[in-house]
């Protein structure tokens, strides 16, 4: 399968579906990006069940900013609409294949439970800090 050009207009539609989407944030002037491209393309041909997308960070600066892309290439893995991996740096072919295997093996029910627990903890931390501050002020 060939790679898909991802833009602000189609990103949410492509990545929001069930299944795995790999995203390569790149630019034409980036040497490591250019060297990684054939590896990414070969992997896309091996894994027809996975969507391989590419975001040209020069043309899609707002999209790169949305994901706080500070170094390219950056590889992102999205499964069932959830970002499960993001890391800057070109991966060797074996590491890319290993990443795909790990994303395929994820228990998405468990991932969603962990995300929910993390959100709950993040929301309770400010309240806990306020309670502790108020208690300290009464001492």
For 121, the token pair is 């903890």
Contact (CB, 8 A) for 90 and 34: no
Q: How many CA atoms lie within 13 A of 74 on its CB side?
A: 19
Structure tokens at 22: 């790999």
Catalytic residue chosen out of the listed positions 20, 23, 33, 75: 33
Known active-site residue 30: yes
Question: What is the tens place of the pLDDT at every residue in 46-100?
Answer: 999 999 999 999 999 999 999 999 999 999 999 999 999 999 999 999 999 999 9
pTM of the model as a whole: 0.82
pLDDT (tens digit, 9 = 90+) per residue, 113-136? 888 888 888 877 655 555 454 445
Domains and CATH numbers, the chain: 4-122 (3.40.30.10)
Catalytic residue among 6, 30, 63, 75: 30
């Amino acid at each position: 399968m060939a790679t898909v050009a991802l833009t602000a207009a189609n990103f949410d539609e492509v990545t929001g579906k069930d299944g795995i989407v790999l995203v390569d944030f790149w630019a034409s002037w980036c040497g490591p990006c250019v060297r990684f491209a054939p590896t990414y393309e070969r992997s896309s041909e091996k894994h027809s069940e996975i969507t391989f997308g590419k975001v040209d960070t020069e043309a899609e600066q707002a999209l790169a900013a949305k994901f706080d892309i500070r170094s390219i290439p950056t590889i992102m893995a999205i499964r069932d609409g959830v970002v499960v991996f993001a890391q800057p740096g070109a991966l060797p072919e074996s590491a890319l294949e290993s990443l795909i295997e790990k994303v395929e093996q994820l228990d998405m029910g468990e991932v969603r439970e962990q995300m929910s627990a993390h959100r709950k903890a993040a929301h309770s931390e400010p309240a806990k800090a306020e309670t502790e501050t108020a208690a300290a002020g009464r001492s």
